[in-house]
Amino acid sequence: MGALLCITLGARGAHAEDPAKPAAPALSDVLAASGVEIHGYVDAAYSYLSGTGIFRSGTADRVFDTEPNSFNLHQAALIIDYQPKEGFGGLVNLTAGRDARVIASAGEATSNFDVTQAFAQYAHGPLTVIGGKFITLAGAEVINSTLDSNYSRSILFGYAIPFTHTGVRLTYAASDQLSLIVGVNNGWDQLQDQNKQKTAELGVSFVPSKLFSLAVQGLWRRRAARRGAFIGAGTHGVRDLIDAVATYSATSQLTFILNVDWGARRISLLSSMVPRSRRNGTASRPTSITRPMINGGCRCAPSTSTTRTATARALFKNGRKER
């Protein structure tokens, strides 16, 4: 029996096939193991404007859907992020399409492509720090159309608040319900600061329950004098914004959102001519102009000036829900 067993084993060994090579891991498995997430969306639509689409001043009264009768690829977005709860991470958000022309930072080339966000991140305990370009704290509506309650954006989103900032932001989670946010950046939609002054931001987020949440944030900027075409010409002043967003989820199908904005821009005009009073040995006081923006708004109802007759939206993602 022992010889027979050896012969049998020898025969098996002689005719045995090479062991199968392990299958290569799928890309989704690699990403899941590394913590890197790749997700995105496509926003395409046909829009029809029932009105003129402009204010009396000639400025468009819409944000993205400004064409009166047109098919559009508004956004094709790709988001790649690695944001661990501890340690270093980052996020890159690329946007292609018609909306990229609108959200582009001031002074940048206007095209159908925009680097909407690109920042590095460090997290340790309750503190998270990000540095780079990121979306604003202000407003109930966001650039990512899949995260908005209404398809069309409100006037508050287009004219009362910025889209993005470039700078540094610190978020401190005091508890599961309360977060404090502070930061400094180049200003409203400025990839490169247009003067030496910076904008300070401060925010508070309070979520006492799943039914209600409140977020209040502010932006403050003192603008330095900039020379114009003549010696001494230019402006300087202060630009302030206070934004509040309250959300109440009445049911799983009904949510009320109230967004109120208060803003003011106080500008001092510096004349290029020497004031007459200065010739007499006294300096004249610069003129101060306060320009309030929009006092308040409510996102409880969609806009009535635009009707979307056909909307196609696809969402692809890897990992947790989109931010």
CATH code of the domain containing 225: 2.40.160
Residues in contact with 69: Cβ distance below 8 Å, sequence separation at least 6, in sequence order: 47, 48, 49
In a domain, 21, yes or no: no
In a domain, 208, yes or no: yes
What's the CA gap between 197 and 194, in Å, rounded?
8
Q: 172 is in which domain, residue-wise?
A: 35-316
In a domain, 139, yes or no: yes
- pLDDT on residue 59: 83
State yes or no: pLDDT of 239 exceeds 50: yes
- pLDDT on residue 25: 80
How many independent structural domains does the chain possess?
A: 1
pLDDT confidence bin for 268, thresholds 50/70/90: low
In a domain, 4, yes or no: no
Q: Which residue has the higher pLDDT, 24 or 11?
A: 24
Residue of 188, 180, 176, 194 lying closest to 219 (CA atoms) = 188
Task: Tally the residues of the chain.
Answer: 323
What's the CA gap between 316 and 42, in Å, rounded?
9
In a domain, 78, yes or no: yes
C-alpha 322, offset from chain centre: 13
Residue range 118-137: average pLDDT? 97
In a domain, 3, yes or no: no
In a domain, 88, yes or no: yes
Residue range 128-135: average pLDDT? 97
pLDDT tens for residues 190-212? 988 877 789 999 999 999 999 99
State yes or no: pLDDT of 319 exceeds 80: no
In a domain, 6, yes or no: no
Q: What is the pTM of this model?
A: 0.73
Residue range 232-255: average pLDDT? 80
pLDDT confidence bin for 7, thresholds 50/70/90: very low
Phi/psi at 219 (5° precision): -130, 135
Q: Which of 50-54, 113-117, 270-274 has the highest mean pLDDT?
A: 113-117
Q: Which residue has the higher pLDDT, 294 or 36?
A: 36
